[in-house]
């Protein structure tokens, strides 16, 4: 018996090594990100003068290289999805599209970071910030591909730790430190809840690989109550990144206290990665015909309705622009859940399109916060009085981006919402699920509600008398204005020609 085991051991190790070597060929973008992380750290240490500028350029070139490798991966999965590292990761078309989105948005954020005056004046410089951002992007890649409970946990923790550091990066800013502390506390609580849920699922199945047939077979043999409890805990852990109700409490304070480029990063990239991970987690349950222990459509329909209502109605009473955008971000999560509960290919394509156009518009709106705020991170709606006439180009761009966030015609946001509503209506026609109808009605009503808080900004920009005191010192960066104009033009272009993006996300 001992000899038999000894003979099998080398074969097992050989198989594992072969699997690792084969997987590395599909892991090139992530390997490049790891190398880029080290290069940026070394550059920051070696280059004393202008370290931030050199690290920014290195990060930008590195992200372009990673983007190219992601594009090459699209051809590698033409023959079908690839499981990597003993089924820890799953590489397929949708996950690659998510990674491409990460690179594009991260590139925009890296360009944006030194244009924000509060970050530019930071005493410690920005080189470390770029290194942290690269590490988080690496974690986002893992989130988009994770199909193993252990890898899901490691990916989320990688992103969480990096996000904690990003939020509290401005150590001399009391609001940033306070926001970072709150984020850490909520993050650790969510992590503990998720880990406990994973332990329940593992105890029931003895499996960590959620795509393994024994995983679902083991769950259906266990009483539905502990299984449902474990699933809910895991979903709440993922929901921390998505900021759906009731995992949204950290959002307003963190968004208000953190540097505006960091808010742009958290409100877009981590949210999109959360949806990518959630899609991976739900896939084996949705396509397993015998699964009846937990109704995912009912759960996410209820969560989506509450999130839509809570986010949009709370945003109405906000006066601080970043807090208002924080609550609106919660509302947009509800729209993403609308597309997700269709559990269809059309719904996933609509989700991807919606998240991408939301990201462009939201990043552009936050860039305008940096433009109008200068070094004042506590910019209020009242501070914008009359500034639309003084800075007409920025004011018009702000209106265009807000129109897209609302979802009005001739904007990318309108096309995104049309695709989401269409995907839900198509599924509703097939099964006449009352919760889908409730989602449709809630989505329509909250879209109207969003008009009331988004239009407070153009109202103050163009129709209110300006302050005599000159409370706002505007950031006069031409590069920032060009970037804002590009974002506004992009949402209009995708509003007129949605096929430019729709063909990619199918």
At 33 the pLDDT is 96
Residues 226-250 have pLDDT tens digits of 999 999 999 999 999 999 988 888 8
At 214 the pLDDT is 87
Assigned token pair, 156: 């989320």
Better pLDDT: 276 or 504: 276
Task: Dump the DSSP string for 312-380.
Answer: HHHHHT--BHHHHHHHHHHHHHHHHHHHHTT-SHHHHHHHHHHHHHHHHHHHHHHHHHHHHHTT-S--B
CA atoms of 92 and 74, how far apart (whole Å):
8
Confidence at 3, pLDDT banded by 50, 70, 90: very low
Confidence at 213, pLDDT banded by 50, 70, 90: confident
At 190 the pLDDT is 92
CA atoms of 489 and 410, how far apart (whole Å):
11
CA atoms of 457 and 329, how far apart (whole Å):
16
Residue 180 clears pLDDT 90, i.e. is over it: no
Confidence at 148, pLDDT banded by 50, 70, 90: very high
Residue 297: its H or E element: helix 296-316
Residue 444: its H or E element: helix 434-454
CA atoms of 427 and 297, how far apart (whole Å):
12
Average pLDDT over residues 41-60: 90
Q: How far is CA 99 from the centre of its chain?
A: 11
Q: Which of 137, 307, 331 is nearest to 235 (CA)?
A: 307
**What single-letter DSSP state applies at residue 122?**
-
Residue 421 clears pLDDT 80, i.e. is over it: yes
The answer, yes or no, to whether the previous bond of 246 is cis (omega within 30 of 0) is: yes
Confidence at 377, pLDDT banded by 50, 70, 90: low
Assigned token pair, 505: 């996300």
Q: Where are the domains positioned within the chain?
A: 317-506
**54 with 105: CB under 8 angstroms?**
no
**Average pLDDT over the chain, rounded to whole?**
89
Residue 378 clears pLDDT 90, i.e. is over it: no
CA atoms of 142 and 120, how far apart (whole Å):
30
Q: Which of 128, 191, 135 is nearest to 163 (CA)?
A: 135
Confidence at 100, pLDDT banded by 50, 70, 90: very high
Q: Which of 459, 446, 317 is nearest to 382 (CA)?
A: 459
Angle CA 103–326–310, to nearest 5? 125
Assigned token pair, 95: 């996950």
Instruction: Output the CA torsion 267→268→270→272 (10° steps).
Output: 130
Phi, psi of 171 (to 5 degrees): -65, -20
Residues 319-357 have pLDDT tens digits of 899 999 999 999 999 999 999 999 989 999 999 999 999
Q: Which of 407, 413, 398, 391 is nearest to 478 (CA)?
A: 391
């Amino acid at each position: 018996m001992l000899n038999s085991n000894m003979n099998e051991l080398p074969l097992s190790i050989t198989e594992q090594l072969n699997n690792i070597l084969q997987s590395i060929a599909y892991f090139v973008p992530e390997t490049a990100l790891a190398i880029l992380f080290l290069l940026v750290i070394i550059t920051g240490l070696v280059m004393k003068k202008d370290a931030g500028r050199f690290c920014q350029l290195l990060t930008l070139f590195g992200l372009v290289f990673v983007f190219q490798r992601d594009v090459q991966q699209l051809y590698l999965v033409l023959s079908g999805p690839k499981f990597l590292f003993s089924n820890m990761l799953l590489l397929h078309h949708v996950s690659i599209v998510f990674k491409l989105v990460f690179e594009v948005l991260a590139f925009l954020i890296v360009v944006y970071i030194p244009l924000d005056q509060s970050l530019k004046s930071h005493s410690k410089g920005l080189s470390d910030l770029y290194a942290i951002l690269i590490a988080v992007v690496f974690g986002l890649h893992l989130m988009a591909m994770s199909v193993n409970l252990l890898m899901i946990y490691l990916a989320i923790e990688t992103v969480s730790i990096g996000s904690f550091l990003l939020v509290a990066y401005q150590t001399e800013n009391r609001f940033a430190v306070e926001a970072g502390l709150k984020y850490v506390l909520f993050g650790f609580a969510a992590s503990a809840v998720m880990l406990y849920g994973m332990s329940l699922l593992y105890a029931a199945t003895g499996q960590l690989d959620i795509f393994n047939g024994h995983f679902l077979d083991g769950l259906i043999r266990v009483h539905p109550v502990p299984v449902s409890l474990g699933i809910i805990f895991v979903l709440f852990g993922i929901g921390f990144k998505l900021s759906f109700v009731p995992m949204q409490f950290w959002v307003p304070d963190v968004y208000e206290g953190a540097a505006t480029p960091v808010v742009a990063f958290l409100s877009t990239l981590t949210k999109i990665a959360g949806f990518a991970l959630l899609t991976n987690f739900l896939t084996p349950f949705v396509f397993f015909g015998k699964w009846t222990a937990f109704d995912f459509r009912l759960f996410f329909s209820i969560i989506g309705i509450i999130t839509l209502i809570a986010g949009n109605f709370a945003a109405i009473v906000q006066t601080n622009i970043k807090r208002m955008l924080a609550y609106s971000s919660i509302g947009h999560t509800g729209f993403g859940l609308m597309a997700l509960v269709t559990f269809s290919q059309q719904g996933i394509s609509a989700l991807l399109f919606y998240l991408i156009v939301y990201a462009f518009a939201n990043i552009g709106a936050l860039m305008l916060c940096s433009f109008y705020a200068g070094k004042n991170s506590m910019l209020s709606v009242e501070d914008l009085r009359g500034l639309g006439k003084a800075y007409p180009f920025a004011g018009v761009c702000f209106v265009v981006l807000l129109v897209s966030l609302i979802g009005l015609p001739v904007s990318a946001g309108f096309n995104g919402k049309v695709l989401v509503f269409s995907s839900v209506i198509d599924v509703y026609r097939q099964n006449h699920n009352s919760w889908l109808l409730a989602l449709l009605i809630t989505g329509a009503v909250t879209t109207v509600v969003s008009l009331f808080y988004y239009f407070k900004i153009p109202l103050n920009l163009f129709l209110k008398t300006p302050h005599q005191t000159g409370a706002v010192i505007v950031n006069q960066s031409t590069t920032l204005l060009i970037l804002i104009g590009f974002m506004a033009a992009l949402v209009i272009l995708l509003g007129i020609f949605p096929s430019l993006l729709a063909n990619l996300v199918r």
